[in-house]
Structure 1
C-alpha cells in the first residue's frame, strides 16, 4: 500500500509532486492524459521503497506504458537513490542522463565501482552502472536506443495533444556546452585510474553537470531546477540566462535548485524565467550538522513570493517506530536523533486550461513563512 495520497489527477490536470527527504529528493510530473515523467529518485530509508514508484503505483498509474521519460539529473546520491529501480520498472520510458557525464573517464568511474564498493561512497556510480546495463539490454531487444543525453536548449520530449491534454514539450536547460567541456577536462585530470588509487574519489562536482528542465503543457510552464548552481562562469544559471532559451511565458512553479541553497540563488531567474509570485517547492538537504535551506536561504524565497513550500521541516521528523525504540532506551537515548526523518510529499496541481496552483501537503510537508 502506498505511503502517499492515492487520488490520481484528472486527465486535464497538470501535477508536480515533490518527495523528500528520507534521504534526497524525487519529482513526479503528470503532463496530462495519464502521461508522466520522473526526475531523480529517493527512497524511504525505512522501507527502502523508491518514493516515485510508491506514489505512482498507489494512484494506479501503469508504469509499463504511462511513464514516458525518466531523467537522472546528475550523479549525487541524494538524487539517485533507487533510480535504476525506477528505470527498470518503466520499460517504455526514455532514459535521460547529463551529456556532461558521458565520457570515458566517467565510464571508468562507473566500472571501478565494482572494485571500490564498500570502501568509499559510490552509490551513484552503482546506480549509473545498472542504468547503462538496462539501456544496453533494451537496445539489443528493440533495436532502438532508449537513452538520450541532456544539454542546453535540447528538447527531450515533444508530445502532441491527447484528448483533453494539449501538446507537451520538455526542454533541457543545462548543462551548457562549456559545462560539458569543463566536466570532461576535470574528469580527464583525475588520476584515479592512472595511478591505481582505487579509494580516491573524483574531484569533479556533479552539480556542475546537473540537468535543469523547462516543462510546458498548454498554459502551464514549470521550471525544475535539479541541483544547478549559480555558476561558475559559463555554467549553471548564468549560462542558462545567457543562452538563446527564451520562453514566451514565464514559469508559474519552480522546484528550487540545490535544496534552496544560496549557491543556486540567481536573481535573474525571477526577472527572466519566473512569473510574479510563483509557487516554489523545496526539498531540503541534511547531512550530519548540515541542514539546507538555512533561515536566511529560506527567506530568499519567502521575500519574493508567499507560495513557498518545503517537503519536510528543518529538524528531521522521527517515525513512530523510532520514537518507540527511543522510549525503550530511556535516558540512554537522550541524544538519539533520527538522521533522515519521514518523507514529505508536496503535490501541486493546476488545470491545463489555466488557473492557480493548488498545493497539498502530506506527512511533514509545510508552507514556509506561515506562522502556526
Structure 2
C-alpha cells in the first residue's frame, strides 16, 4: 500500500474519506468523515498552545466548506474527546448534534451543574463543555439526536454527475439499553446523596460511548470510540458482538477503541465483525499510564499488518516505518510550535473512490503518524 504526500487537497468528488486526528500526550482525538457531499465530525480536540480546534482546522486546510458538515457526534464526555466541541457547533450551522442517550433530561442537566464545580477549582470540566453544547443547541435551534444501540442516525444518497454511487448509512451501535438504564440509576443515586464533591459516576463515560458504523455497499468503517469490554453480556462490546443488527458487510477500517488498550479488546470483534487484515487506526495515551502497551500492539498486529498510530507510545517506542521529510513539513504547516507542549500531531487519512468497480482504500500519513512495523 503506497503512502501519498498531498495533504492540502479535498477528496475527489467520487471519494469517501475516513480520517483520524490524534494529538499524543493525552490532548485528544477526533475523526473527520466524508460521506457523499457531506462531512461528519466525530469528537473534538485542540492544539493546547494555539487553542485551534483541530478537526475544523483540518477541514479549512483542505478547502472544505463547513456548511457541508451535517453531523457533529460526541461519542462521550471525556476531556480528550470533547475539547472544542462547542465551537464546532457554533460554526457548523447545518449540523445535527449526536450525543449518547440519557433517559432523564432533568437529572442530567442537574448533574452538569454539579460537575462544573471542578472547573471552579482549576480543572477542566468536560461536562461543562458538554453543557455549553446543549446551551448552543437551544439558542441556535440545533437538532439533538440521542444515540443508542441499533439506531440509524442518517442516510445520505451519493450522486455525482447523474451517476448513482450508492447510499451511505450512519448507525450507532451503543450504548446498550442496559447501560442507559444503569446510568439513569447512577444519576438518581448521586443526586439523592447530595455529594459536595462530584466525581465521575461509578461507571464512567467510556461505558456510554457511541460506537459508529459507516456503511456503503462497497465498504464500511467501524469507529470504536472508547467503548470497553465488560463482564455484563448486555453492555459494552459484548452487547455489540451478541446483539447488533446493523452489520451487512465486514468493516475494512476499524478505529480501535480506548487507545488500543486491553479493556477495549475482544477476540470475537475480529472473528465475527471485522474483515480480514482490515486497516486499524488508533491514537496513543502518553499521560500516566501509557497506551497502547507493546503487548497489545503485537496482538493487533496478529489481526492485521495494516496497523497505524498517530504518534509514538513513548514507553513502548514501536518502530516507525521510514518516511520522507516532506511529511513532517506538512505537519509544521498545519500546527506550528508544538514541541514545547510535548504535543505530537498525527493524521491517518483514508480515501476510497466509489466510482471504481473494485475500490481500494488508500492510507496517507502526516505529522507523527506511522505504520507499526514488526
TM-score range (shorter-chain normalised) is 0.7 to 0.9
1:225 shift after superposition: 0.2
CA–CA distance in structure 2, aligned partners of residues 108 and 54 of structure 1? 33
Match of 1:124 in 2: 126
SS at match of 2:296: helix
Q: 1:161 aligns with which of 126, 133, 158?
A: 158
Equivalent residue runs for 1:280-319 within 5 Å: 280-287=280-287, 289-315=288-314
Match of 1:96 in 2: 98
- The one-character-per-residue Cα deviations of 1:274-313 (angstroms, maximum 9, x if unpaired) are 11110001111122x3110010111111111100000011
SS at match of 2:152: strand
CA contact (8 A) 1:212 1:228 kept: yes
SS at match of 1:203: coil
Equivalent residue runs for 1:152-301 within 5 Å: 152-163=149-160, 165-191=165-191, 194-195=193-194, 197-198=196-197, 200-233=199-232, 234-287=234-287, 289-301=288-300
CA contact (8 A) 1:280 1:308 kept: yes
Match of 2:346 in 1: 344
1:267 shift after superposition: 1.1
- The one-character-per-residue Cα deviations of 1:310-336 (angstroms, maximum 9, x if unpaired) are 00111299x98576xxxxxxxxxxxxx
Q: 2:31 aligns with which of 27, 30, 36?
A: 27
SS at match of 1:162: strand
Q: Compared with structure 1, are the counterparts of its residues 168 and 201 closer, same or farther at alpha carbon in structure 2 (3 Å cutoff)?
A: closer
Structure number with the bigger relative contact order (C-alpha 8 A, sep ≥ 6) is: 2
Number of residue-to-residue matches in the alignment: 344
Q: Compared with structure 1, are the counterparts of its residues 71 and 299 closer, same or farther at alpha carbon in structure 2 (3 Å cutoff)?
A: same
Unaligned 5+ residue runs, structure 2? 1-5, 316-327
Instruction: Normalising by structure 1, report the TM-score.
Output: 0.86
CA–CA distance in structure 2, aligned partners of residues 260 and 279 of structure 1? 14
- The one-character-per-residue Cα deviations of 1:133-172 (angstroms, maximum 9, x if unpaired) are 1111133xxxxx6110100010001122322542110000
Match of 2:55 in 1: 52
Q: Compared with structure 1, are the counterparts of its residues 7 and 125 closer, same or farther at alpha carbon in structure 2 (3 Å cutoff)?
A: same
CA RMSD of superposed structures (Å): 2.3
Match of 2:365 in 1: 361
Q: 2:69 aligns with which of 42, 67, 88?
A: 67
267-276 or 108-117: which moved more? 108-117
Equivalent residue runs for 1:35-46 within 5 Å: 35-46=38-49
